[in-house]
Structure 1
Amino acid sequence: MKRFPDCEEYKDDNEIVLKENKSKLTFENSKQYQIRIIKVDGCPILDKEGKRCDYALVCSNVEIYVELKGSKIAHAVEQIESTIKLLSDNPQTIKKLCFVVFTRFGLPKGRTNIQIIKSKFNKKYNATLIVEKTPFTYDLSNITIKKKSR
């Protein structure tokens, strides 16, 4: 993922918590991986450049995109997709995890549509799309990470 020194920070805490309005996503980081966290909105992607998600994280060989939302899940997916196109070094091949964490369900035809969106997202961006109600916790030890020596 591209670098944005003025917009990013590094954390290796046991828990990394991202909050926006009433949505909350916690990453459990028991192995204390070095995580690069980019606050996307208003820093690397300015208002005039279009849709963008709230956060992008880099954990070794995995890009993670996060949108914390009220209810507009389809819009959240569009925001993540736009961010991938703008920030990813290689949108089709680099492994990605994408999270939409919402406060209330807002997709017109329910969960069936989410499965279709997830499948298309995986094929197009090599991305696993995870859509969950807030608060949601994800264990980073679930992903394969190349451990960097300190």
Structure 2
Amino acid sequence: MKRFPDCEEYKDDKKIVLSENRSKLTFLNPKRDKIRIITVDGCAIVDNKTLRCDYALVCSNGVEIYVELKGSKIAHAFKQIESTIKLLSDNPQKIKKLCFVVSTRVPKLTTTIQQLQRKFKKNYNASFCIKTIQDTYNLSKITI
């Protein structure tokens, strides 16, 4: 993942919380892995024309995590994360990625969303999770 010294911080806390408005995502970090957190929206990418997600995280084993904390436009969130992957990832096709959209309102799992999830798996080696209002993810599932 590209470097943004002014927009990133490292955390090894047992809980890493990202929140915006009513959406919140908590990463449990029981192994206290050193996680690089990049504030993408408004820092790493500042121009208003470029689609971008809110945060990108990099685990010590290189797994990339993309986070969009959203209102209700899930299809737009996919576009934001896809644009961010293309701009920031060192190897969009090879490096393992997790993508999270935490929305204040989640639509039912439509065929459109399922198609987008398959596209992300195939094109970006990325799993895609869509959750309502808040979610928790245990990083020990992916860290060494």
**TM-score (norm: length of structure 1):** 0.91
Q: Does the CA contact (< 8 Å) of 1:55 and 1:65 recur in 2?
A: yes
Q: Single out whichever of 113-122 and 63-72 deviates more from structure 2.
A: 113-122
Deviation per residue, 1:69-88 (Å, 9 max, x gap):
01000000100000000000
Q: How far apart in 1 are the matches of 2:55 and 2:39?
A: 5
The match for 2:28 is: 28
Which letter does structure 2 place at the counterpart of 1:88? S
% identical aligned pairs: 68
The match for 1:58 is: 58
CA-based RMSD of the aligned residues comes to 1.3
The correspondence of residues 104-143 of structure 1 with structure 2, limited to 5 A, is: 104-106=105-107, 110-143=109-142
Q: Does the CA contact (< 8 Å) of 2:106 and 2:131 recur in 1?
A: no
Q: How far apart in 2 are the matches of 1:23 and 1:48?
A: 22
The correspondence of residues 1-12 of structure 1 with structure 2, limited to 5 A, is: 1-12=1-12
Per-residue deviation, 1:114: 1.8
Per-residue deviation, 1:140: 0.5
Q: How far apart in 2 are the matches of 1:59 and 1:43?
A: 20
Which letter does structure 1 place at the counterpart of 2:69? L
Per-residue deviation, 1:38: 0.4
**TM-score (norm: length of structure 2):** 0.94
Q: How far apart in 1 are the matches of 2:82 and 2:64?
A: 13
Per-residue deviation, 1:141: 1.0
- Consecutive unaligned residues in structure 1, runs of 5 or more: none
Deviation per residue, 1:64-106 (Å, 9 max, x gap):
0000001000000100000000000011111100000101125
Per-residue deviation, 1:118: 0.6
Which letter does structure 2 place at the counterpart of 1:9? E
The match for 1:18 is: 18
Runs of 4 or more, structure 1, over 6 Å off, are: none
Aligned residues: 143
- Consecutive unaligned residues in structure 2, runs of 5 or more: none
